[in-house]
Amino acid sequence: MKTFFVQFKCEVGRTYDVASELAEAEIASEIYSTAGHYELIAKFYVDDEVDIGHFVNERVAVIPGIKDTFTTVTFRAF
């Protein structure tokens, strides 16, 4: 299982819409609103054979209201 995080920049006024769409899609394990350069961050788990780039492009970044994403791939939890 691979774990990664995606931060989201949303179109003005669409942050809650994006968060709701992510939650309804049931593809993220956790979704948080944030302050700073990005409005949201979400934690994802995918099987080892799943390509993270394809997953983000095909399942995540297509959600309406997302302007930009920043993906962080993780290696080990402490």
Any idea how long the chain is?
Answer: 78
In a domain, 35, yes or no: yes
Q: What is the CATH number of the domain that holds 47?
A: 3.30.70.920
How many structural domains compose the chain? 1
In a domain, 38, yes or no: yes
* Helix or strand holding residue 43 (H, E): strand 40-46
Q: Where are the alpha helices (DSSP H) in 1-78?
A: 15-25, 52-55
Q: Report whether 7 contacts 15 (CB < 8 A).
A: no
In a domain, 24, yes or no: yes
Q: Looking at residue 10, what is its pLDDT?
A: 98
Task: Give the pTM.
Answer: 0.94
The residue among 13, 59, 54 whose CA lies nearest residue 42 is 59
Structural domain of 61 = 2-73
pLDDT in tens, 5-62: 999 999 999 999 999 999 999 999 999 999 999 999 999 999 999 999 999 999 999 9
71 falls in which pLDDT band (50, 70, 90)? very high
In a domain, 78, yes or no: no
